[in-house]
Amino acid sequence: MSQAEGAQGAPSPPGAPGAREITLEVVRRVLRGAFLAPTLRRGLDASRLDGRDRSLVTDLAYGTLRWLPWLEAALQPRLDPRRRLPERVAVALRLGAFELLVRRTPPHAVVSAWVDVTKRRHGALAGLVNAVLRRLEAPMPTTPETRVALPAWLLARFGEALGVEDAERAARAMLEPGPLWLRAYAEDAAAMLRAEGCEVQDGPLPATLRVRAPLPLDRLRAYREGRVQPQNPSSTLPAALLAPAAGERCLDLAAGNGVKTAQLAAAGAVVTAVDIDARKARAMDVNLARLGLGAGHVSADLTAEAPLPPAPCVLLDAPCSGSGTLRGHPEIKLRLRPGDVAAAADRQSAMLDTAVALTAAGGRLVYAVCSLTEAEGEGQIAALLARRPDLRAESLTPDVPHVATPNGCYVLPLAGLDGFYLARLQRPA
């Protein structure tokens, strides 16, 4: 979910033609390989759109990419497969299909808007866009993977991990927008947000907030002064499960920009963040300073032996396929291939061995991935326990929708949550 989605909520159609042209360029670039969130942010920053039309761009871009396989199934009977359309016309049809079939925008407004956009570059094809969109219907019949707009192989992987019913629930839930989720770092965070005109509700987990804001996050005083951190509630669970005591030494492995490092530091732990990319440490330091927190950091390749002393608390939120975050990163499902999951699992296995070596005797290790595949989740921990029978996995029952497994659990991506796999392991003294 983008910050802009949470900031403004669902827009009211039809919006200005300029908004649709910007959306078309954003989606076109993403389909060429760009990442959605930064591409959208650059497009909006370069525009002169007001809040209503900025929200329209965000909703159309995210929504179209989330629903793309379903939209293409709807368009396929209306298009001649022998005719290769110009790139922008093909994207315009998909955006128009999303507005018509998913957002249920009045047809005359949608058709007129996308015909006008098409005329600006491809006037000769404006009639085709008009004809296709006027006759468009939802795809029938549909396969399970079409219904949830997910590649068949990936839906099958979800089924292996979650069971068929929960796999479809998870995939369908990630088609819908989510709120702006914030984690509070001060008792007055919610009050400060409300004073700035935000709508604030308590989230499903401690210190989490569901927010609708009238301004971009970085313009809110509560953010600038370190009262809040953007963080999905599911993402708060790994550090919460580690539960370090005040003064306890922790290693945050594969720390990235240090969002979980901050959470551990706020709990009073003495934290060392470890990541292969030294550049991320600079972003982490800036964010920690904003929050009034501090932590050490070390650059190391965690697929090999790391030159660090073992610690009683170790968190490994490992790099993964990201298949539990398709709501906020829908481009993932358009690019992910089975071999990518296998490669991620191989890397995670090596990192887990390093993490165990860095866990002191009697210490605890939390493993997390924002993925909903067996290979990256329960299968990963089962394989580790086969290699290291001295480790003990604890049962987990977090206060969010989840599927329990023998060695951990999958958090389901319902009601705006991200999907995660979590495991907590104890090393004998």
Give the C-alpha separation, 348 to 379, whole Å: 11
Residue 363: enclosing H or E segment and its boundaries?
strand 359-369
Close Cβ partners of 140 (under 8 Å, ≥ 6 residues apart): none
Beta bridge partners of 253: 274, 316
Give the C-alpha separation, 350 to 342, whole Å: 13
3-state secondary structure of 243: coil
3-state secondary structure of 367: strand
How would you classify the pairing of strands 270-275 and 296-299? parallel
Give the C-alpha separation, 291 to 284, whole Å: 11
Catalytic residue of the set 313, 320, 370, 409: 370
| Phi, psi at 241, each rounded to 5° | -70, -30
| Phi, psi at 254, each rounded to 5° | 55, 50
How would you classify the pairing of strands 249-253 and 311-317? parallel
How far out from the chain centre does Cα 312 lie?
30
Give the C-alpha separation, 323 to 331, whole Å: 10
How would you classify the pairing of strands 208-212 and 199-202? antiparallel
Give the C-alpha separation, 199 to 89, whole Å: 38
What are the start-end ranges of the E strands in 66-188? 180-184
**370 carries an active-site annotation:** yes
Residue 425: enclosing H or E segment and its boundaries?
strand 420-426
Residue 315: enclosing H or E segment and its boundaries?
strand 311-317
Residue 292, CA distances (Å) to 82, 233, 288, 375 in order: 60, 21, 6, 38
- Percentage helix, strand, coil, to 5, in the chain? 50, 15, 35
Structure tokens at 319: 């790099």
Structure tokens at 265: 């530091």
**Position 223, amino acid:** Y
Comparing CA positions, the residue from 133, 73, 131, 129 lying closest to residue 99 is 133
State the catalytic residues. Answer: 370
